[in-house]
Structure formats: C-alpha cells, structure tokens
DNA sequence: ATGCCCTTGCGTCAAGGA
C-alpha cells in the first residue's frame, strides 16, 4: 500500500498536474493540502474518473485538505480534531483506507515571526500533538501525513542557518515536532534516509528548485504498528519540476 | 533589508504562502 502526501497549492489550478502525477505514481491513498477551494468546487468528478474516491474539507481561498483512495471510498472519521484552537480553518481531515487510519493535516505557516500568527501556529501544533497522543493510545495503525510547516533540523534545510527569522525553523516549532517523534511517531522518510536531505518544498523565488535550495516540511509520521510494516518511501522531485507545478513535491511511503 | 513568484477571489489589488 502506497500512501502519499502532496501540498497541491490550489487543487483546481493544479488539476492537470495532479491527475498526471496520480496516473504516474498510482498511490493507493493521498493526502492533499492547500486545496484553496470551497467544498462545492472540489473536483470530485475528475478524480473519480481518474479512479479515486475522495473525502474533503474545503475552504474558500485558503487551506483545505482532502483524502483520496484508489479504487475505493475513504471511510471518513472526522473533519477537524477535538481541541483545534481555530476550527474555522480547514486544516485536518481523517479517514480509514485499507485498514489504516490516515490523518491529513495542514499546519499553520506561522509567519511573520515573531507575532500572533506564530503564537497561533504553536497553539495549533500543541493541540494537534495532544490529539495525536490520544490516537497513539488506541494502538491502531495510524499515518499522520501532511504539511507540518516545520523544518525539523538544520539538515532538513538547503543551508544550515538560512532563513533564521522564518517561522518554519524556530526552536519552539521544532520542539513541537520533536515532541511528536519523541512520543512514538516515526518520521518515515528520515528513518529510511538518515543521510539524505529529502526536501519536499522549494519556493518559487530565485530559481530555488533549479539550485536545489529546498527544505523538508512535508512529513509522514507513523504509529508503531505502521512503522513495523514500513517497506519504502521517497519524494517525487520530478513533479516539482513539471510546468505549472506546486511549490511542494509529493512525499510517499509503502507499507 | 527587501523583493523575488504564485495562488484565489468578484478582483484591476489584497492576503497568504514559507
């Protein structure tokens, strides 16, 4: 079973590139973030034609998350999570696919730092961490995949010490992510590739992708039951290089 | 120190992104 996460940066604007990637990569389950579309403009028909069932939690202009499943319908378990400090923002959707509970998340960016938006990011990450701890306690197979908007360590960045005033690299944000891993969530791609950066994002500025000035901010965290079955993973960098691409690349695992 | 580039919306610019 191949499970992917992809911040599409506009699901309608990117629909052709999304469909091309789905046909090429053939993931069994996909977490999408930054739909930038309200519920009634989610392209469910086009995705169904491509062979994917879907559940979604949209929002006009910003945020928005969805879960796709190839050849079946995801079994929706929740939109949003208990304790979310900003439930009006569509940042979480969760569904069961093929016996695995999958949480698809889009954490707040938190810029500019410092300030209220960064404080809101920390509050969201703390609340999400508490919810995730509850999932772990159930002992069921869970994958929490999405755009965490955290560069976990300097190694996950094109140049250690770069963008030091950015919300994505602040110690408090890194501590929130580290706390998830410390509680028992397995950072799948870092586990598989301890010596490779595995960037998932390159900004649109300054030819960042061509110069490989990237960062790793999209993560798949696995509960112990899933981590024990981890068989492989990667980042589809070529998707980032396609014309009209999102600024993120898909990241994926196989269990 | 700043902007670069890109998205969506009822829009001719703003706000958010990271």
Q: pLDDT of A225-247, one tens digit each?
A: 999 999 999 999 999 999 999 99
Task: Note the pTM of the prediction, 2 decimals.
Answer: 0.97
Give the phi and the psi of residue A2 in degrees, each rounded to 5.
Answer: -105, 125
Identify the residues numbered 144 to 203 in chain A whose C-beta atom is closer than 7 Å to any atom of strand B.
147, 149, 166-168, 201, 203
DSSP secondary structure string, A114-160?
SSHHHHHHHHHHHHHHHHHHHHHHHT--EEEEEE-----SGGGBSST
Q: Where are the domains of chain A?
A: 2-254
Task: Note the pLDDT tens digit of each residue in A191-201.
Answer: 999 999 999 99
Pairing of strands A65-70, A29-33: antiparallel
**Mean pLDDT for the stretch of residues A71-99:** 97
Q: For residue A182, what are the β-bridge partners?
A: none
Q: What is the mean pLDDT of chain A?
A: 97
Q: Are A18 and A11 in contact (CB under 8 A)?
A: yes
Between CA A108 and C1' B10 the distance (Å) reads 27
Evaluate if residue A206 carries a pLDDT over 90. Answer: no
- Any atom of strand B under 7 A from CB of A13? yes
- Any atom of strand B under 7 A from CB of A240? no
CATH topology of domain A2-254: Deoxyribonuclease I; Chain A (3.60.10)
**pLDDT at residue A236, rounded to an integer:** 97
- Any atom of strand B under 7 A from CB of A248? yes
**Mean pLDDT for the stretch of residues A221-228:** 98
Task: Note the pLDDT tens digit of each residue in A128-166.
Answer: 999 999 999 999 999 999 999 999 999 999 998 899 999
């Amino acid at each position: 079973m191949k499970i992917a996460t992809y911040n599409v940066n506009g699901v309608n604007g990117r629909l052709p590139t999304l469909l091309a990637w789905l046909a090429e990569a053939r993931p069994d389950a996909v977490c999408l973030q930054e739909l930038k579309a309200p519920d009634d403009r989610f392209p469910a028909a086009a995705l169904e034609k491509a062979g994917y069932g879907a559940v979604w939690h949209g929002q006009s202009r910003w945020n928005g998350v969805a879960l796709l499943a190839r050849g079946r319908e995801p079994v929706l378990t929740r939109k949003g999570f208990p304790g979310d400090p900003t439930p009006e923002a569509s940042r979480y959707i969760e569904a069961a696919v093929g016996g695995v509970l999958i949480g698809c998340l889009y954490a707040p960016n938190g810029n500019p730092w410092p300030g209220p938006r960064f404080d809101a990011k920390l509050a969201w990450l703390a609340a999400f961490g508490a919810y995730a701890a509850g999932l772990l306690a159930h002992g069921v197979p869970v994958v929490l995949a999405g755009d965490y908007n955290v560069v976990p360590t300097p190694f996950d960045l094109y140049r250690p010490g770069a963008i030091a005033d950015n919300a994505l690299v602040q110690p408090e944000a890194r501590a929130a992510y580290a706390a998830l891993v410390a509680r028992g969530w397995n950072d799948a791609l870092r586990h598989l590739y301890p010596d490779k950066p595995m960037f998932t994002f390159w900004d649109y500025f300054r030819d960042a992708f061509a110069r490989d000035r990237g960062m790793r901010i999209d993560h798949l965290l696995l509960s112990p039951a899933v981590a024990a079955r981890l068989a492989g993973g990667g980042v589809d960098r070529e998707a980032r290089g396609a014309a009209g691409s999102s600024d993120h690349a898909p990241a994926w695992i196989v269990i």
